[in-house]
Structure formats: structure tokens, C-alpha cells
Structure 1
């Protein structure tokens, strides 16, 4: 009879990294392009269903990459692998940083648009039904912050940190440079993904600058606190303020 103790989630060797993040990101880009291509040809006919497919195409690969990385190549815990936890102080940090990010992007919109942009999907005249709740409240304000922070600040940013520290010198390991580089690279990727979902022109510039600032703000929170809670709250605050303004 073997006396070897079963391996628990606490002592499982972490093997996830950049390949997991790249695979999820690449699949998301391909699926989003495919859904957009189909939409230009009138399929599906329902605009609500097109929006649902667009969200699913973007989020399913990102969330799938996180879950696969954690369950198959990590500790099987989103808390231990990616820092998905909250402290009460995260509410304060998140509200403050989220408000600051929204104020900064408002200035960008005023400079480039000449006005504050409105947000939220519309399907002609507003009808306050289940689709409105799903696409105006649940998707952008709750689902997007959770899924995007898990992937970008959880999997991607931490993978970049692990890659940069793998063969780093003792001096580099104690410096802030790996964290700074990881935050910047993750923020650029985060902004680029959102820019791909625009029609180009000035919208692409505004979205690029805005999401870059969101990426830096939430990335700094994740790196300094060691958890995703504050960044998720900041992301919720940011998106929530956009939706609130559009409803006024």
C-alpha cells in the first residue's frame, strides 16, 4: 500500500503562464471577429442576440482560459492562483480609483469629442425589459469587471510577472521594475483588445486612451494589494458611472 499523501490544491505546482493567457486572448479575438463578420451579413437578425453573441465570444475564451489555467495547471483556486478576494478596504480604494479614472476619461472625451460620451448599448427606442437589464446593467457593470479583471490582472499580469522573475537576478527580484513592466504591457493589451471592438477613427482613440488608463489603475491596485478586489470595485465604479451618465 502506498504511503504517499494525495496532492492537495495547496501544494500543487503552478504551471500556468503566458501560453494560457495568449491562447485565451487569441481565441477571443478570433471569435469576436467571426461574430462581427456574421453581424455585417445580417446574422443573427435580432440585435439583442447579436449583442449576446458578441459578449459570449469575448468573455467565454477569457474566462475559460482562467479556469483551465487554475484547475489544470494551478492550485485549483481562483483565490490562491489569481488573488480573487476582497477586503473591506478594497471598497474604498476601488471607489476612489474608479472615480478618478472616470474623471480622467471624461476630460479625454471633452477634449476629443467636445462633450461627455454616453455609454450603454441601445436598440432603438429604450424598452426597459430583460434585455435592457442584461445588456445595460448586468453585462457591463457586473460581468465585465469580474471576467476582465480575472483574465487581465489575474492571469495575464501575473503571468508576465512570473515570466520576468523566472531567471531574474536577486537585485531585479527586489525591484519594482517587473511589476511596472507587467502593468504597462497588460494595460496596452487590454486597451488594444477594446480598440479592436470599435469602428476606428476618433472612437478608437478615445477608447484606447480610456481603457489604457483603466488598465493602469486596476493594474496598480492588483500589484500593490496582491488581490483583485480593489480593481474589480474600481472597474465596476468606472463602468457604472458611464451607464449612470447615459441614463440621466
Structure 2
């Protein structure tokens, strides 16, 4: 009979690294195949299928190795998908504040990547379904429900949430998205860890992507934060920026305090 301690030590990084390698490979291969078939029409649908397919392959692999390597998977019990209204509301507000705080950084980055993303989202119904429906469900299931869950179990909640957020940011590739997505990963990771509800993280992700997609159609590459708050200058903008700093600091202090509590008090595990 295998030694449980040896199994746990052996499975420290291999499952997570192999999941990420497989996901990146599947994403690149299926994405390249979808682009090669663009001449057949309905490119958005093929890109949607490639996107969903890369997650299906990766999640299927996680299911295949879960027993041998001790991979933890999300629970489908109803209470683990319950929506926690206060956390969802705070999460949406924090994401808006994050967009404000990152504006001075993202404004200094080349905007050709943002224009490419805008053009993609304007490509019809399927890109919108990908961004607003598929991404919240699949990305939360894989990056919070599997990758973060296993990192937290192995290296603790603080390091686990941070590493998972960094991975989530890195896979977005577009520079502006990488920074913002890393911050999104921190916020969603904390919501998932504190509530034990993957549904709450999905809900915040869905609202965020829905607002961003709608704003992209209306405003183009200009951020919704700048459009609503004075274009990045003036008293309204500077007041909002100061409030965002205070809000982010308060949220960080709360998260650190919760994470440092005993396991039985700081996280609700599956």
C-alpha cells in the first residue's frame, strides 16, 4: 500500500505544471486550427469550439489523474455553488476600483493589443458568448476550482491564491489584460476561498466580463472608468482614485486577516 505522505510529496507540482502545459498546448493547437479554417466561414464559432475544447481537454486530464496524483476537484453540491450576495457586490466594486487604479499603467502600454481585442469582440455573437458565458464558467472551474484549490491545499491559502492569480494573469498574454487579470485572480481567488462557493466567483466574473464587453461595443478601447469619471483627470477622477486606494487597502487588510485565521475559521473546504 503506498505511503500517503510520499504520494502527497510526489504530487506537489507535477499535476499543476502538467495541467498548465496541456492547457497552453491545447489552446495554441486548437486556436491555430481554428484560424487555418477561417476561410470556411463562421470563424467565431470555430474559435468558440477551440476555446471550449482546450478547457475540456485540460479538465478531462485533471479528472483522469485525480486519484493517482491526489488532484482535488470542485464539488457540485448545491451549497458549493451558492451565491453570496455581499461578496459578489464587493467583488464587482473592487474590480471597478482596480480598473481605476491600473489606468495610469495601462495607458502607457501600446494599445494595438486592445484594438485587436475590440475587433475580436465585435466579430459577432460567438465571441460575445465566449467572453461573457464560457469564460466565467470554464476559467473559474479550472483556475480557481482546480488550480487554486490544489495550490492552497499544498502551499497554504496566501501563497496558493497569489500563485494562482499570477498564473491566471499570465495566460491572458495581452499586456493590459495580464496585469488586470492578475488582480482579478486575486479578488476572485479570495472570494472563492472565503465563501467556498465557486458560483460566487463565477457570478463576479460574469458581471465583470459582461460590463467590459458592453463597454467595448459602446466605448471601443477607452475604459469605462475613464469615460464615467472625467477621462483620467479632474476632481472627480482624483477623488475616485483616492477612494479606490482606500478601498483596495481595506480589502487587502481584510483578506490578510482572514487568511491568517485558523483553517477552520478562514476557509470552507469541499
TM class by smaller structure = 0.5 to 0.7
The alpha carbon displacement at 1:86 in A equals: 2.7
Residue ranges of structure 1 left out of the alignment (5+ in a row): 1-13, 165-177, 199-203
Which residue of structure 1 aligns with residue 94 of structure 2? 100
Where does residue 127 of structure 2 map in the other structure? Answer: 135
Q: Which has the higher helix share?
A: 2
Matching residue of 2:162: 184
Q: Distance in 2 between matches of 1:62 and 1:121?
A: 27
Equivalents in 1 of 2:58, 2:164: separation in Å?
14
- In the aligned structure 2, how far is the partner of 1:219 from the partner of 1:77? 15
TM-score of the two chains, using structure 2 as the length reference: 0.61
User: Any residues of structure 2 matched to 1:37-186 within 5 Å, and which?
Assistant: 37-38=32-33, 42-45=36-39, 46=41, 47-68=43-64, 78-79=74-75, 85-88=80-83, 90-109=84-103, 111-113=105-107, 122=119, 131-132=124-125, 134-136=126-128, 138-164=129-155, 178-186=156-164
Give 1:16 deviation, angstroms. Answer: 8.1
Q: What's the counterpart of residue 25 of structure 2? A: 30
Displacement of 1:23 in angstroms is 2.5
Equivalent residue for 1:217, pick from 177, 181, 187: 187
Deviation at 1:153, TM superposition (A): 1.1
Query: C-alpha root-mean-square deviation of aligned residues, in Å?
Result: 3.8
Is the CA contact (8 Å cut-off) linking 2:48 and 2:130 kept in structure 1? no
Gaps of at least 5 residues in structure 2 are 1-7, 219-270
Q: Relative contact order (C-alpha < 8 Å, sep 6+): which is higher? A: 1
